[in-house]
Structure formats: C-alpha cells, structure tokens
Chain A
C-alpha cells in the first residue's frame, strides 16, 4: 500500500515535470528563439512599406505612363486585391504617416488611371 502510494506520487511529479518541460518548450520556441523567417513575401510587408512600394510604382508611372507595368507591379504586392484597391489603401496609409502633397498626388493620379484602365478593359471584354 505504501509502495503503491509512493508510485502514484512519482507518476504525479513525473507528469508535473513533463508539463513544466512543455511550458519551457513553448517559452523557448515562441519567445526566446522563435523560428526566423527569411522568406517573407511582398504581401506580408507592413502597411507603410506597402505604401512606399505603391509610391515607387506611382513615381515610375508618372514618367513612363505604362499602366500595364504599374498594374503588374501592384499585382505582385497583393494578388488578392485589385491594383486600384491597393493604391487607394496606400493613399490612406500615406496620409496617416504624413506623405508630402506631391507624393500623394502621384498616387492619386495612379489610382485614377488604374480606374480608367480597368473600366476600359471591362468594356473591351464585353465588346463582341
């Protein structure tokens, strides 16, 4: 009986030590040394970096007027959103972090041209 009690206590402490080990493992793996990701994608960039990406696209577009290239670049930023939507979001973010008037106007112009391009593309597709 005494030996049985002592065995139960050992099993109990064994479980507790496993639990403590698991918690230490969590702490080590999530806090102290989390897995380092070095293969992030453009879509995972923080909003201000995305806004700067859109600004760069707008700067390039303001010079070459190549709307297809601009659309392609913005598509790389987020395949799940339209280029217009991406640009509009970037304008909102740019305003929040005090982009200059010139930079915002570049982005607004890009947004307008993308809208026009999208509209024309739809009309072309619908025309038999």
Chain B
C-alpha cells in the first residue's frame, strides 16, 4: 500500500501511544505528591486515632461546638454511628478503653444534645452505652472500613505564614509556675538597627536573678487599636528566655512582662541609618530580670 493511501491513522496511533506513555509516567514514576492534607484524607487507622482524640478532648472540655466542628472536618457520614462502631471495635480488641468510652459518650451527646444541657455528661451513661455496644456485638452501624465516606483528594494548600520554627530542643528544666507568675523589671533597653531582620521587631529576653533565661513567661503587648500576647521559650536557638513581636511604623506599644511585671510604655519603631546613608526602621531589644 502506498503512503498516500494509508491516511492519517498513524497520527491517531501516535496520539494514543503518547497518551498511554504520559499517563503511565504520571501514575508510576511521578505521581502527584500531596502535602498539607486535611483530616478527611487520612487512612482509616489514623482517622480512628483522630476521632478518638476528638472524643477524649470533648470529654475533658465538654465543648460540643468545638467537637462538632472537628468532626465535620473528617467529613464522615452518620458520624455518631461511626463512633459507636469504632468504640465497639476498640472494646472488642481490648485496646484504648479510654477512647472507647469517650467515643460512646460523644456519640450519645451528638444524638441527644440536651443531655449536655441538663446534666453533666455522666460516666454512667457512657458506661451503659459502652456495655450495650459490647453486648449487642452487632449494631446496625456500618463497618467503618466499608462506610461511604467521601474522601476528598488532598489539595495542596497555601501554607500559613509564620515565623520559622526552632530546629532543636535543648535539655532544660521546666520553670515552676510561681516563677512564671513573678514580677519582672526592665533591666536593659536598646535600639536595634539590623537590616538583616525581615521585620521590625520588639525583642525581649527574660532572665532570673542568676542570669539564666526563663521560658514560658507571658508578655502582654497593647496599642491604641488592640492587644496581643506571646511567650518566651519558643526560639531556643536564640535563647530560652527570648521572644519577639512584630512592630508597625507609627504605632505606640506598651508591654508588660509576667502577671505583675513592669509595664514599658510608648515603644515605637526607631529611625536607623545604614553605613551607606540609607535610612530604615529599627526596633527594640528589652531585657527583663526577676528581682
């Protein structure tokens, strides 16, 4: 047969071969890598752990709204039945008795929210629910491994912007609460002109009488239109007593260290000049000590 009479079928063949090769590559060699998953994309075992944690947290704080919003993220269908089934599974496996009890309790409250309003969620009801799960052995609950859960593809999400985290954990002794509640006084205050800092920072450091940094000290910062707080100890690569706060130009900040500490007033960004004459804004570095 001559080439002219073969027609364009070879093009379609080529297209199909290419499509097959392309798909094969995207499936086997370079599949999409998912990060930043939502809980509804978790595997069954991890979802069970997550659900158990929600139930235990609810047992401690009895915040039904919070528990519901956490369960919504899992995107489970017939969530209270799933929880009952999971509690039953945990009981029959002899694992996680606390989680089983908490799951039964939360399932009960989800079905009868007035239980929470009228009386504290009682251990007895949870135990009864737990016992009924053990006895019946086969509720009309779906097997969670076959449940019709719509599991969405984990979609890459924009990560929240936050300060870079510490990269190591030092070995330190936790600070007793009476120290954390102590009064701290300002010992040193200096302007910081550092062009390498990506933000204008109000930096603080807290030391004990021996000069050791103290983690976990709460700072309250306020300005005309708002207030905020932060804790020392979250940047151990700098100092355990270190913390910082982003400043904004033309805003006057007041800061207090600890619950009864000295208040430092009217901190504003400061004018700095670089070696080549360029002006920029700088912040402050405050050192507080425990008297």
Residue of A49, A84, A97 near B38 (CB, 8 A) is A49
CB pair B43–A39 under 8 Å, yes or no, is yes
Residue of A nearest to B49 (CB): A76
28 contacts between A and B (CB under 8 A): A13-B11, A23-B18, A23-B22, A25-B20, A25-B21, A26-B25, A28-B23, A28-B26, A37-B41, A40-B42, A41-B42, A42-B42, A42-B50, A44-B35, A44-B154, A46-B37, A57-B53, A59-B57, A84-B169, A85-B169, A88-B234, A91-B234, A92-B163, A93-B160, A95-B162, A96-B160, A96-B163, A119-B174
Interface residues of A in 70-128 (CB under 8 A from B): 73, 76, 82, 84-85, 88-89, 91-93, 95-97, 101, 104-105, 108, 111-113, 115-116, 118-119, 122
CA distance A94 to B229 in the complex (A): 12
Question: Is there contact, CB below 8 Å, between A53 and B22?
Answer: no
Interface string of B6-20 (1 = CB under 8 A from A): 000011111111111
Asked whether A25 and B19 contact (CB < 8 A) given A56-B56, A84-B169, A93-B162, the answer is yes
Q: Is the CB of A56 within 8 A of B57?
A: yes
Contact size range, A: 35 or more
List of A residues within 8 angstroms of B153 by Cβ: 34, 36-37
* Residues on A facing B (Cβ under 8 Å): 3, 6-7, 10, 13-30, 34-42, 44-49, 52-53, 55-57, 59-60, 62-64, 73, 76, 82, 84-85, 88-89, 91-93, 95-97, 101, 104-105, 108, 111-113, 115-116, 118-119, 122
Contact between B57 and A10 (Cβ–Cβ < 8 Å)? no
Q: Are the CB atoms of A59 and B61 closer together than 8 Å? A: yes
Which secondary structure dominates where chain A touches chain B?
A: helix
Indicate which residue in A28, A48, A53, A73 contacts B160 across the interface (CB closer than 8 Å). A48
B19 to chain A, nearest CB (A): 4
Question: Is B172 an interface residue, CB under 8 A from the partner?
Answer: yes
A29–B22 Cα gap in the complex (Å)?
Answer: 8
Q: How far is the CA of A60 from the CA of B175 in the complex (A)?
A: 21
Q: How far is the CA of A97 from the CA of B233 in the complex (A)?
A: 19
> CA separation between A88 and B234, bound complex, in Å?
6
Name the CB-closest residue of B to A25. Answer: B22
Chain B residues 55 to 69 lying within 8 A of chain A, measured CB to CB, are 56-57, 60-61
Q: How far is the CA of A10 from the CA of B15 in the complex (A)?
A: 14
Additional 14 contacts, C-beta under 8 A, given A23-B18, A112-B216, A115-B215: A21-B19, A24-B19, A24-B22, A34-B26, A34-B153, A41-B43, A44-B37, A45-B38, A56-B53, A85-B168, A88-B166, A88-B169, A108-B231, A116-B174
